[in-house]
Structure 1
Amino acid sequence: MGMRLGIDIGGTFTDFILVTDTGELIIRKVLSTPAAPEEAVFLGVADLAKKLELSLGDFVSSCDHIIHGTTIATNTLITRSGPKMGILHTEGFRDILYLRDGFKPERYNLQLEPPTPLIERYLRLGVSERVLHDGSVETPLDEGSVRDALAAFRNAGVTSIAVSLLWSMINPSHERRIAEIIEEEMPEAYIALSCDILPRIREYPRACATALSAYVGSAIEVYLTRVAEFFQTHGYRRDLLIMQVTGSSARVPDIQQRPVLAIGSGPAAGPPASLFIGEREKESDLMLVEMGGTSFEASMITSGELPKSTDANLHGFPIGVAAVDVHSIGAGGGSIAWIDNGGMLRVGPQSAGASPGPACYNLGGVEATVTDANLVLGYLDEDNFLDGRMLLSRKAAEQALDKLATQLDMTVVGVAAAIYQIINTEMVGAMRAVSVMRGVDPRRYTVIVGGGAGGAHAAKIAQELGIRKAICPTVAGGLCAFGMLAADVGHDYLTTRPMNTDNMNIDDVNEVFSDMETRALKELRTQGFSPEEIKLSRFADAKYPYQSHEIIVAIPPGELCVEDIQRMSDSFHTTHERLYTYCLREMAVDMNGWRLTATAKLPPMPIKPEPIGTESADSAKSGMRPVYFHEVGDFSNTPIFSGPLLRAGMSVRGPAIVELPTTTIVVFPEHTVDVGEHEDFHIQIPQDDL
């Protein structure tokens, strides 16, 4: 077995996790290069080759699997740096993207500005055609209207075109013909068809997912082609795998066909990483908290099941696909502290990012950030950041904080402590959003800590929610990159064929699943997986009649019979009752979409547990330094421990600092850190009995 490499591009750092053929874990971080993201990838790969004393070619050719999470799609959307784009709708429905779903994101905010449209109205055009809900054609496609619309696009300089017609998920013939006409009239244009991107009921999410794909598609195509060619040039023999927002990875051509799957692909690897760590620690109820340089992500895993949602959105745009359920806010180490018009100290969501970065990086940043506050509070060592590969400037951090202190009539340390508490409050709010606000008691969950900044904050925010245990894995600083190595290779399929359990033809259901399963097996076999290695999971989008939105329910495997209709109904009723506290078991159920998830596991990583010892942690102590603790109200001379020297079975009682190569764990007073057999750090958090 060769090596396995995970690469995750973040807003501040690009993370690399390498698992060698002997099971050794090597973690690297390099500053991201927003202007040319691939440059950070190339630099990090070269750094790993140097670490192993290999040539670049020898290193790359020794990798059995390379999995990459990219922010290209996300950044293209956030910065609005995509191409000039047009969209074609059924005549009379050109304003679907403008009208959205009829609701404001903040319904009672009277000052809320309308969202900036992704496509201007003069580039949202209708074409004469109409397909009905049963797939029959009421109005044939008027090809002249298509060519007229394309002439308008051509004159406006459009280079990317989305097509989203009514009921094309049932009968895609008109969209297919429009694609042929576009290739004739505008052969250089990028084309995205809704029947390919998201063939599901709900016109707005389908149109939006298609528009997003058209908007980011060309950028993704260029970037992924460039990165794949880099690895191939240096001897990589397999397909480069790309992390998907669905929680599994796929080949570059698969992502290029459905670019929407690459939106949020990096954070989507956090839950698979948490599942992997939870399984080996025998924990099934997990709350992921990941704090990087730019953002904070929270996700709940219950009973060892990967959380999925079709309601995922990015900056107000629904992506429509069944994505890993991750809640993200702008709260990271690079989050900027500022004073609002009312004279109140605020933190984020804007971030210093990788350029210019926090003031303490000495790369041109002048505004105070969370990282600057953590440095001044003593949580970080200015001479040992990123294992000593990057020096920080406490003086620069103090200067940035002093500007705020002067305006607020506070001390520099007081401002730093306030920034720490404010950002923690923001993150606790995100944790509540995925737990308490959904009726889930988080106190029985174990927190999985991720992100370079996570170790300094996770125990404190977990304590706020009454959680008693947090696990900070050795790979916390590159948790998503590690999650890419743990995630399955997978494909998701969706067929829309509306049915009702009162008159369902089970043969039609079998036909739908048979077709999707045949395609799935063929695709994964071409990637080298045997039928025995492939897992097929069936689901349906189900709802009560007259409800507006479906929920996803499991469908039994194998050839279905008439009796299975009742089993599918019961599954829906039970799921509905669990989610919403009630169900109507006497009522028939609508099942509109039929889903198949096909996954195959990569070979197990050769990571072996260490024997639990009885040695004292004193041997790992590297020194003392003053550290500020809110519980004390001042600085305390605090022992510092070298994380790599802490072995399985060792225990550290707070107050203390544990320094790892890519993150730092703050052990607060009364907290205890125990090192597990996989050398993960188990933080025990005392709580008052409630």
Structure 2
Amino acid sequence: MYRLGIDSGGTFTDFVLAGDGDVSVYKTPSTPDDPAQAVKDGLALVADDLDTDVPGLLADIDIVIHGTTVATNALIEHTGAKVGLLCTEGHEDSLEIRLGHKEDGHRYDMTYPMAEMLVPRHLRVPVGGRVLSDGSEHAPLDEADVYDAVERLREADVDAVAVSLVWSFENPSHEERVREILAEELPGVHTSFSVDVLPQVREYTRTSTTVVNAYVKPTLDRYVERVEGYLQENGFEGQTRYIQANGGITSSEGLRERPAYAINSGPAGGPAAGRHLGAKFGSEDVITVDMGGTSFDVSLTKDGSTEIRKDFDLMRYRMGLPMLQVETIGAGGGSVASLDRGVLTVGPESAGADPGPACYDRGGTKPTTTDALVVLGYLNQEELLGGRMKIDADASRRAIEGHVAADSQLDVESAAAGILEIVNKNMVDGIRQVSIEKGHDPRDFAMVVGGGAGPAHATGLADELGIGRVLVPKTSSVLCAYGEVVSNYKHNRLASYPSPVEAIDPADLEARFAELEAEGVGQLRAEGIDEADISLQRVFEMRYRNQIKECEVTRPATEITDEWLSELREAFDERHEELYTYAEPETGVDLINVESVAIGRVDPPDISGGLPTGDDAETARVATREAYFEETDGFVETPVYDGSAIPVDVDVEGPAVVEEDTTTIVVNPGWSARLDDSGVYELTR
């Protein structure tokens, strides 16, 4: 039986079919106007390659794991639902007040426009009644207001309703009553409640997240119904799962309950792949990079856990749900190089897939990163993708000559080397954002490289950062889809627990976690996870007294005692010093929020074996060509190897170029590459 990973991207939808001892990679053009069609097209492509039909293919698959961009696209393109908001009277404008300032980076820019409101002012309806911060009821819910709001929203023909009442996470009774009324009065309308989506302190963040959840919910529901309906029509009897922004997979029921977890979930498969591959090579500390045609994604995993972020602006909308910290910058194979008042820049403008880099011969005339790689001899001068894409190397030279070299008084090769240096610097800056700026030394990490363009830059990036080990899987061009195949289940349950650490009652906090953990474990069991494969983590958001921002401390789920709380306090001091270079052990510490993380372990398929064997890489050598390396002060005759013929456990010494069907690996001087029987190249100094 196989596992099928499906990752929907802006240009291509990727498929990874993995079974014991075998993994196959497929790509089909994405269909933005009808995203589900790309899934159908891809299944037909895979079936045809295996000489069967779609029902025959699905009969041999026991689980499909899907990463979809439909929720993200709905938010980016503002094509989500027509949403109404029920909120506590006097709080109708919290979405626009936005805590009194603009997003980070634009706080003092008076010309920066307001974000488009997902709920227009006339659909933000106040409701009387008030719960206080201690959970007591100051004024009962005004049900007449709720029924009036229902009439207004019914007349407006809304698709979804978000409900966020002040301090509801301390006492959910008012939201629960609103839930009952909406179920009776608006049975066909999608609803989202803050007590379900984000039951934590901070009213603006909670309201914004609940609104976003409501905004994308109908779109995601329709998409899931179409995909799963197609699978069922073709006889699929296995499980369908979805990757979430927290890096774990869940059932369709779990995702449809909290569709906001689907937003920005596309890159989340990358860190899962990085964590899995790093563990195979004995490293729980990995930096995962994924360079595609338009962007460069980077994340950091420490001790087997990827960095998480909360309470941040995503596409200009505040989100409070835990999401993997995947930094994205405009540095891809299609990033355009240009001169800005005599200064060479690369990106964020991209040539994309159409027209694409000049060498694609699809009408593109601007020089890109890919064109620089062609001129420098890293990429095949005639074809890519195993011969399926022809390359015009002369077009790359003309583009760089006409747009960069001529005006900078450089020769074409020097201009291309400058483009490479700048794009590498941009990517190094992105890596530093998730490593050095978070208190981590990148030299302590292995680097896992994905994307069709990433492996050509891998050893150059590693040299810049002092990283000594780089892992490049043969599936690097579909890294996120591969990550979906090896991802674990993951469910986050959130709550507020404001208290000075020294005043916490251990039994009370333990009981609160027991409630959260029961929810997460219950969902895992419903998804078919055995008790032996379930593990729990506990996350504590803490801060020094009178600070504004918290930092997180993650601990295993062990019994909370007074001694344990003292250790938690010490762990917070250590984490604060790691992040900010100082700690204040004499200052009081407050616990603000808690989170339970329930993880269901999945046994990944064993894909080792089936690769060529032998004693000499020369059997895979197919050519030599001139390639540029800074270490050699220019061009040097460089051997080129056919990746499909390279034997396992044989060293390929740099400088060298390894050509795989969907990517090219550049081995810089001073590096060597060795292919593992799992299909992963280990590059070391």
What displacement does 1:113 show?
0.9
Normalised to the residue count of structure 2, the TM-score between the two structures is 0.91
Indicate the SS of the match to 2:239: coil
Work out whether residues 533 and 602 of structure 2, in 8 Å CA contact, stay in contact via their aligned partners in 1.
Answer: no
Q: Residues of 2 paired with 1:68 and 1:394: CA distance?
A: 37
Q: Deviations over 1:535-571 (max 9, x none)?
A: 1222332233322233332355355445443343333
- Indicate if the aligned counterparts of 1:91 and 1:127 stay in contact, CA closer than 8 A: yes
1:80 aligns with 2:78: yes
- Contact persistence 1:291–1:332 (CA under 8 A): yes
For residues 395-474 of structure 1, the aligned pairs below 5 Å read 397=396, 401=400, 404-405=403-404, 408=407, 415-474=415-474
Residue 113 of structure 2 corresponds to which residue in structure 1?
A: 114
2-structure distance, mates of 1:231, 1:45 = 10
Alignment pair present for 1:294 and 2:300: no
Aligned to 1:64: 62
Task: Please tell me whether the aligned partners of residues 289 and 458 of structure 1 are also in contact (alpha carbons under 8 angstroms).
Answer: no
Deviation at 1:483, TM superposition (A): 1.2
Q: Tell me which amino acid in the other structure corresponds to 1:380.
A: L
Q: What is the aligned partner in structure 2 of residue 136 from structure 1?
A: 136
Paired position in structure 1 for 2:546: 546
- The one-character-per-residue Cα deviations of 1:606-643 (angstroms, maximum 9, x if unpaired) are 23368997722110012234444455676554322111
Q: How far did residue 588 of structure 1 move?
A: 4.6
The separation in 2 between residues aligned to 1:329 and 1:295, in whole angstroms, is 6
Counterpart in 1 of 2:390?
391
1:250 Cα deviation from its structure 2 partner? 0.2
Aligned-pair distance for 1:249? 0.3
Pairs within 5 Å for 1:306-385: 306-311=306-311, 313-338=313-338, 340=340, 342=341, 344-362=343-361, 365=364, 367-381=366-380, 383-385=382-384
Residues of 2 paired with 1:130 and 1:229: CA distance?
Answer: 44
Give, in angstroms, the shift of residue 574 of structure 1: 3.5
CA contact (8 A) 2:439 2:580 kept: no
Which residue matches 2:207? 207
SS of 2:225's equivalent in the other structure is helix
**Partner in structure 2 of residue 600 of structure 1:** 600
The answer (yes or no) to whether the contact 1:539–1:595 under 8 Å persists in 2 is yes
Matching residue of 1:688? none
Q: 1:482 to 1:168 in 2, by over 3 A?
A: same
Counterpart contact for 2:499–2:592, Cα < 8 Å: yes
Identity percentage over the alignment?
38
2:12 counterpart residue number: 13
**Aligned residue number for residue 34 of structure 2:** 36
Amino acid at match of 1:660: E
Deviations 1:158-209, CA, capped at 9 Å, x for gaps: 4333222211112222223334444455444332221111111122222221
Give the Cα separation in 1 of the matches to 2:610 and 2:589: 52
- 2:44 counterpart of 1:50: no
- The total of aligned residue pairs comes to 682
**Structure 2 residue aligned with 1:218:** 218
1:463-612 matched pairs, under 5 angstroms: 463-555=463-555, 557-608=557-608
Change (3 A) 1:41 1:359: farther
After superposition, give the CA deviation of every residue in 1:52-94 in whole Å (9 maximum; x if it has no partner). 2222111112112211111112222222222333333222222
> Any conservation in 1 of the 2:22–2:608 contact (CA below 8 Å)?
no
SS of 1:387's equivalent in the other structure is helix
Cα distance, 1:621–1:60 mapped onto 2, change above 3 Å? same
SS in 1 for 2:389: coil
- Output the CA distance in 2 between the equivalents of 1:109 and 1:421: 32
Distance 1:108 1:519, change over 3 A: closer
Offset at 1:573? 3.4
**1:82 alignment partner AA:** G
Whether the aligned pair in 1 keeps the contact of 2:21 and 2:609 (CA below 8 Å) is: no
**Residues 287-322 of structure 1 deviation map (CA, whole Å, 9 limit, x = unaligned):** 112111222111222233332222454223332122
The aligned amino acid for 1:592 is: I
Q: What TM-score comes out, normalization by structure 1 length?
A: 0.91
Distance 2:496 2:70 in 1: 30
* Counterpart-to-counterpart distance in 1, 2:84 and 2:17: 42
Root-mean-square deviation (CA, aligned residues, Å) is 2.9
Bigger mean CA offset, 350-359 vs 299-308: 350-359
- Deviation of residue 582 (structure 1)? 3.7
The verdict on how the C-alpha distance between 1:557 and 1:83 changes in structure 2, with shifts beyond 3 A counting, is: closer
Deviation by residue 1:323-363 (Cα, 9 ceiling, x = unmatched): 222211122223334555x4544332243444554454455
Q: What's 2:256 paired with?
A: 256
Mapped to 2, the partners of 1:108 and 1:312 lie a distance apart of: 14
Cα distance change of structure 1 residues 87 and 284 upon mapping to structure 2, 3 Å threshold? same
> Which whole-Å CA distance do the structure 2 matches of 1:360 and 1:42 have between them?
31
Q: Name the CA distance, whole Å, in 1 between partners of 2:36 and 2:401.
A: 37
Compare 491-500 and 149-158 and name the one that shifted more. 149-158
Q: Structure 1: how far apart are the matches of 2:303 and 2:379? A: 36
CA–CA separation in structure 2 for the residues paired with 1:487 and 1:557: 21
Q: CA deviation at 1:3?
A: 0.8
Cα distance in 2 for residues equivalent to 1:383 and 1:86: 56
Change (3 A) 1:68 1:614: same
User: 1:61 is matched by which residue type in structure 2?
Assistant: A
CA contact (8 A) 1:32 1:354 kept: no
1:654 has 2:654 as partner: yes
Q: Hey, what's the Cα distance between the residues in 2 that align with 1:218 and 1:477?
A: 31
1:568-611 deviation digits (Å, cap 9, x = unpaired): 33333343343334444455543233321111122331233689
Post-superposition shift, 1:134? Answer: 1.6
Residues 367 and 169 (structure 1), Cα distance of their counterparts in 2 relative to 1, 3 Å cut: farther
Listed as ranges, the gaps of 5+ residues in structure 2 are none
Q: Does 1:98 align with 2:78?
A: no
